Amino acid sequence: MRRILFALPFAAIGAGALAIHLPDPAAPTWSEEDLSLVRSLSLDALPPVPADPSNRVADDPRAAALGRSIFFDTRFSSNGKVACATCHLPDRQFQDDRALSKGVSETSRRAMPIAGMAHSPFLFWDGRKDSFWSQALGPLESAVEHGGDRTQYAHVIGAHYAEAYVEVFGPLPDLDVLPARAGPVADPAAATAWEGMARSDREAVNLVFANVGKAIAAFERTIAPPETRFDLWVASREFPGPGLLTTEEIAGLRVFLGAGGCVNCHGGPLLSDGHFHNTGVPAVPGLPEDRGRETGALLVREDPFNCLGPYSDAQPADCAELRFMVPAGADMLRAFKTPSLRGAASRPPYMHAGQIPDLERVIAHYVAAPEAPAGQSELRPLTLDHTQRHELAAFLGALDPLP
């Protein structure tokens, strides 16, 4: 009898457990493949930042410290007012909330966030750069972003960062013989001065310029995507049931994977395939024609600062992404890089030139699948009712960084 009494509470617990595991007819079912797909989107599935053989100081903390200082230093601009951080604000996911970013003047694209981009083989909306360090060089010489030039930046390094630079990269060239302003840039005076320099001087300056990029890259590689409620939910005991994600958000995840087909391109832990797609995003009236990846594929191949170029520390075998990249063909016309959806819900406006002001209209765009202004859109119209659209938007909100 005594034994039976002891056993009773256990029987009760057993019955409780049984009740918990009874299938709820309203609860969605998940196949093992579905669950594994959901886990593959979680931050836990993100591998360590891959090595960058083209940047020998990529993981040198001294280079990262130097790069961090340069990132916030407005002396690296023509007007002394623009730094990398001007458009890549650390407290705003390293972007600027503007449709078109504003450096020394207005650009024709939206600033991209930085977190996790060390995993991306090609940088910029059109992928015209194939490394973080080479990417950092582009805005520095752009007439509308930093607006400066190579000898100007070499002089800033010599005047303000000589010690840190020499420690990481070795001796600086003799800067006294160099023009104050010279580089292959839009400014005619600087361009003429650059042409007038000895080839060996130009190469010495190019090396300093590349090293500025490599230091910035070493810093940017440390910027990891922050954890989100979605990541915590996947790791939680309730997964895949409601808990840290609401029933509505989970329904939205199922739209994301199923009827919406979002995961086709927004897959993996960064929710981006890192590739280029024409999704029929409208052109912006008044801006120059933007051919997207078609132009980017040509530019990256010709770039002296690419993986195969003289300023890269890589062996050709390390440059598979560049050597075997899809050439600039018709299917790359107006194809733009898939952005990460981590944090996207709280950083409107959307698309490469901020064409779409809010998530609701982004979803409407994918449902309607309009014809592309040039090239062929890969989208096909979707059948998503009002509830599904709402659920999808709710799920995207769960991909925001935790407060």
Partner 1 sequence: MPNLPTRRAILAGIPLALVATTVSAGLFSQDIPENLDLALRRPTDAHHYTVAIGPVEPEVRIGRMHAWTLALADRRGRPIDTARIAIDGRMPQHGHGLPSAPAVTQALGDGQFLIEGMKFNMHGWWEIDLAIDGPAGADTVSFNLVL
The owner of tokens 């409620």 is 229
Give, to the nearest 10 degrees, the angle between helix 199-220 and helix 162-169: 90
Residue placing its CB nearer to partner 1 in the complex, 73 or 321 = 321
Residue placing its CB nearer to partner 1 in the complex, 45 or 172 = 45
Residue placing its CB nearer to partner 1 in the complex, 40 or 346 = 40
CB of 41 to partner 1, least distance (A): 11
CB of 105 to partner 1, least distance (A): 34
Give just the sign of the alpha carbon dihedral 230, 279, 109, 295. positive
Residue placing its CB nearer to partner 1 in the complex, 204 or 325 = 325
CA neighbor of 209 nearest in space, from 144, 167, 148, 164: 148
Determine the 3-state secondary structure of 242 from DSSP: coil
CB of 261 to partner 1, least distance (A): 8
CB of 123 to partner 1, least distance (A): 15
What does 51-79 look like in DSSP terms, one character per residue? P-TT-TTTT-HHHHHHHHHHHT-TTSSSS
What is the C-alpha to C-alpha distance for residues 43 and 300, in angstroms, rounded to an integer? 30
CB of 341 to partner 1, least distance (A): 14
Q: For binding to partner 1 (CB under 8 A), which residues are involved? A: 30-34, 37, 40, 121, 254, 257-258, 263-265, 267-268, 273-275, 277, 317, 320-321, 323-327, 331, 376, 378
What is the C-alpha to C-alpha distance for residues 198 and 192, in angstroms, rounded to an integer? 12
What does 155-177 look like in DSSP terms, one character per residue? HHHHHHSHHHHHHHH-PPP--TT
CB of 124 to partner 1, least distance (A): 16
CA 293 vs CA 54, 101, 175, 323, 338: distances in Å: 22, 20, 37, 16, 11
* Residues forming a β-bridge with 292: 335
Run of H or E including 336: strand 336-337
Residue placing its CB nearer to partner 1 in the complex, 140 or 384 = 384
Environment class of residue 399 by beta-carbon count within 10 Å: exposed (0-12), middle (13-18) or buried (19+)?
A: buried
CB of 43 to partner 1, least distance (A): 16
Residue placing its CB nearer to partner 1 in the complex, 175 or 382 = 382
Residue placing its CB nearer to partner 1 in the complex, 39 or 160 = 39
